[in-house]
Amino acid sequence: MTRVRVPGRFTLVLHSHLPWLINHGRWPVGEEWLYQSWAHCYQPVFAALRRLAADGFTDQLSLGITPVLAAQLDDPAATSSMYEWLADWQLRAMEAALDDDPDRRISGHREYRAAAEALADFERHWRHGGSPQIRELLSTGVIELLGGPLAHPFQPLLDGRLRRLSLREGLADAQLRWGTRPSGIWAPECAYTPGMETEYDAAGVGHFMVDGPTLRGDTALGRPVGDGDVVAFGRDLTVSYRVWSPKSGYPGHAAYRDFHTYDHRTGFKPFRVTGKNVPGETKKPYDPSLIDAVLDAHVDDFVDCVRKRLIGESERIGRPALVVAAFDTELFGHWWHEGPAWLERLLRRLPEAGIDVGTLATARRDGFVGEPVALNDSSWGSGKDWRVWEGPQVEHLVRLNDKVTETALHSLDKRRDGTPPARDTVADQILRETLMTVQSDWPFMVSKDTAAGYAQDRAYKHAHATREICEAAASGRGHRAERLAAGWRRADNVFGALDARRLEDR
């Protein structure tokens, strides 16, 4: 029985992103990260969205997909390697199913079935990359697509010319892949500094995400920023932290599959969380029969939380309120094995509970917008400031980014002084390597000590490529610069449409 309609609207926002990983290591950090996320997150989440669309659901969530992730999902080498990865998953499962250990055999049978399902789904839907899937979902109206800057930079710390170029090129990349130019974006790390809204407006962006504290906790409506029409939507932490916070959330329930504990003999994760402080060697085997009841309880709990929040916020502001919950897409399936099932059940349950569901675009269209606001420097990282990306632990990367950007822009400006407007592959590659250097992922991984060595190696490798090409060009060794640019281009086959001629004049 449907409950009495709840005032206001709920919006779910998912941010899908991985740094460029192809040809940069395999395990424990590298391509394996891409293939795990693809199999355990993107495949089941997209399958859930297809089922919802088939049942007539529309405007279910705002889905952000960064250009650098989209490029990997479309890369022919990645799709081929992904197919091999799925087949290897099934082969490893067959071996586990023959093991002497009974728990390992049970895990092997379960993994074999999961691998077979993933292979069939990949063959049917993903063989030609991610873009056909995204276009299909867009055509059904089940999602709003959010774009973003080209290589996921921490925008407030980026040179203005490079920042504006990265945004324009990111939106153009979306148009090229999916036949649509997003009107909204997920700003990398939800990072903001005053003035960025004018750049968004100039690029055709009408709305973007910030974290709740950026709006001083008042996230009940989108807010135009300054004197313009660009709207900032804030993440409601009361609701979002119900699922996942720095300290707690549903994925930590004892019955769910544990993400961190491996069976190193098979490479699988056959254990359940068991308890918050239980060491890996004493965790209990994963038991799928325990999951349904827990999932339903967590869906009901979240629905109840949203319902109470909508009622309370609507009463507080004296009009129907908006509640926005936002997460990394990779939480659903990659980090939280049961996440995709929870997500689909939630989206089916919300309207049954009388809760209206929509996207950021429909919220703006339907007037869930309040008075203008002035915003301060912010992000969704620790402290809600910039410390993760410019703190003492990453000062060396901040200096590196500044120096590489200065070198690259000087070289690019010099190359086009007095030259005809022809495509310059050397300049294009300088720009690509610079953008790969300043990705926000590298300082984040160092600050959080998650594969910090890998992150630093990546940043310095792209910085070296930038400098190497620039130095050859500056010394008049044009042929060497061309060879270096071509070599680095082959190493990272990404952003082929990037054209340095579109960089603003100094």
Please name every residue paired with 147 in a beta bridge, in sequence order, or none if there are none. 185
Sign of the CA dihedral running 75, 80, 86, 92: negative
The residue from 32, 218, 328, 457 that is catalytic is 328
Extended strands (E) in 57-198: 61-65, 143-147, 184-185
CB-based contacts of 493: which residues, under 8 Å, 6+ apart?
22, 75, 77
Sign of the CA dihedral running 133, 134, 139, 140: positive
Tally Cβ neighbours within 10 Å of residue 234.
Answer: 26
201 is catalytic: no
Q: What are phi and psi of 207, to 5 degrees?
A: -155, 155
Q: What are phi and psi of 445, to 5 degrees?
A: -65, -30
What b/e string do you get for 96-107 counting C-beta neighbours within 10 Å, with b at 16 or more?
Answer: bbebeeeebebb
366 is catalytic: no
What's the chain's length in residues? Answer: 506
How many Cα atoms are found within 13 Å in the side-chain-facing hemisphere of 48?
Answer: 21
CB-based contacts of 399: which residues, under 8 Å, 6+ apart?
none
Report the alpha-carbon distance of residue 454 to residue 460 in Å, rounded: 10
The residue from 111, 169, 189, 344 that is catalytic is 189
Contact call for residues 21 and 30 (beta carbons, < 8 A): yes
Instruction: Provide the angle, in degrees to the nearest 10, between the axes of the packed helices 43-54 and 102-125.
Output: 60
Annotated active-site positions, please?
189, 328
